[in-house]
Structure 1
């Protein structure tokens, strides 16, 4: 067995974790982010894509979800069915590649804040812990809060210029 120096071992471990989160190296963080944006924002607006990407990054940074973009996007029952294997046609969403790159470089939707959840806009749920922050790209984005702290229990109406509709 060969011994690896401490820094090389750390690098090797870090690379293994990144590759494990990205489908064993089959997809990059960029590709996984593109998939989340493509399948979850209904390819409707850059605003909606950045909002989805902001939620993905909030999850990555939270410590409650996998620590990689691919790990978050590939989590079972969290995003669109087949998100990691369905075919994408980027001609139908020409902004997705740029939007994904921008979010990975640090851009966040200013109204998403700490939200880690969203669902299709127009759906209603009986829960009393959903504090809505934005409707964009066909989705309603929300934070889970104790019901006493929910001040926006119904998704806000889309506003031109803020939601991209």
Structure 2
């Protein structure tokens, strides 16, 4: 009887001790910061998943790739024209893949300026000249059209020398004309201006105009140095 009573007492003690040990482990886990963080993250992720599931498809797309920004490119798309590429490859093979260019008087003025100001330059140099012209159009300090920018006069001459050098503006080099037309089209349709850091001026290395000492230089491409008017 004593043995039985002793066994029962031992069993009860073991249960109590095991319970206490289990209680210790439970308290220890509840105080574990990683366990608390894990639980909070699980709750947050669950709430986020429910919120995303309730969003319309267009909003989900905007969250993934960003909203569509109204630019010259999107304006061109709205007009039914091909969108300008997000990345430019500066080689003739890439230009040849583009659709046959055409345009109005503005396009004609830009391709003519590219031809006469930079046809002897590399493709990067020709794109850079196009950037300067378009940067001026966007600047409040210059006329608001391409033709007005390239034909603008100034003290002692023209902003772009070819427009008042007294020579006929006949583009006699078929290859350079082809190239200038494609560059003009892709830049007018909103391709990125990634070469000149917002330049509004350029000159050849053979001259040193007075403004080159006042304006910060932004790029050096081929025979031209580029500057941005403050």
> Displacement, 1:125?
4.5
Deviation at 1:45, TM superposition (A): 2.0
Q: 2:219 aligns with which of 123, 127, 134?
A: 134
Q: 1:124 aligns with which of 187, 191, 208?
A: 208
Please give the alpha-carbon distance, in whole angstroms, between the structure 2 residues aligned to 1:52 and 1:133: 13
Q: For residue 86 of structure 1, what is the aligned residue in structure 2?
A: 169
Structure-1 separation of matches of 2:108 and 2:184: 8
The match for 2:145 is 68
Q: Aligned with 1:56: secondary structure? A: helix
Asked whether 1:112 is paired with 2:193, we answer: no
Partner of 2:229: 144
Any conservation in 2 of the 1:73–1:79 contact (CA below 8 Å)? yes
**Which has the higher mean CA deviation after the structures are superposed, 127-136 or 95-104?**
127-136
Q: Tell me the TM-score normalized by structure 1.
A: 0.63
Unaligned stretches of 5+ residues in structure 1? 1-26, 146-165
Q: Is the 8 A contact 1:134 1:142 kept in 2?
A: yes
Structure 1's 122 and 112: CA in aligned 2 closer, same or farther, altered over 3 A? same
Higher share in helix: 2
RMSD between aligned residues: 2.2
**Structure 2 unaligned runs (5+)?**
1-103
Q: CA deviation at 1:47?
A: 0.9
1: CA distance between counterparts of 2:186 and 2:143? 21
1:48 and 2:125 are equivalent in the alignment: yes
Residue correspondences, number: 119
